[in-house]
Amino acid sequence: AGCTPRRCGRGVTDAVITKEEAERIRRIAERGLALGGSDGGASILDLHSGALSLGKHFVNLYRYFGDKIQDIFTEEDFALYRDVRQRIQERIAQAFGISSVSMYLTKPTFFSRINSTAARTAHDEYWHPHVDKVTYGSFDYTSLLYLSDYTEDFGGGRFVFMDTGSNKTVEPRAGRVSFFTSGSENLHRVERVEWGTRYAVTISFTCNPGHAIGDPVL
């Protein structure tokens, strides 16, 4: 109640996050991912769980680096991250006519850095079509905040909704937010990145408080 939409759907907006804010958030991702990175083309940084790609595996950022984390991130970084997350949540609620307080942040919520390096593990094969509700289970609403620009920072890497009879394609732009209901109505994929580096952050929400997570705290 209060969270299930009257209809499924999707939206794209450039009016929630400024380009300057996106650049600040991208710097958070760059600093965190500089501590590790996948051997393949897709690297993940999750500030909530601490998961960080390192080679062919993941480490816990907070345990692996300990107190040195204080030299990488600031309280202002985390405050901006929380503020942006809240604005995206409110925009989704407005678009679908639901209550934002009935939505809960859920895992995984993460930064992604994708380049043209060949895949080394199944995790690196980000381009396969999928449904978020099937892949992650707890997702009811998915959002992506793009942190770099298509054709300027990277080639390929567009987000494709795979509709019957026609595809709908989103071109990433720093500050652009794409959001959608997470079920089978929104089968999608990401094109392979051909050159450059694509940064984004996936922020996901659930209607089930049992699947809720808190905002990351430094």
Catalytic residues: 198
Cβ 40 vs Cβ 46: under 8 Å: no
Phi first, then psi, for residue 216 (nearest 5°) are -70, 145
Read off the tokens for 137: 């289970």
Q: Dihedrals φ, ψ of 136, to 5°?
A: -110, -20
Distance CA 103, CA 84 (A): 15
Rounded distance between C-alpha atoms, residue 93 and residue 207, angstroms: 12
If you search the block for the tokens 């393949």, which residue do you land on?
40
Q: At what angle do helices 19-33 and 75-96 cross, to 10 degrees?
A: 130
Give the span between the Cα atoms of 172 and 157, in whole angstroms: 8
Contact assessment for residue 11 and residue 215, using Cβ atoms and an 8 Å cutoff: no
Sign of CA dihedral 117, 142, 131, 8: negative
> Cβ(80)–Cβ(20) under 8 Å?
no
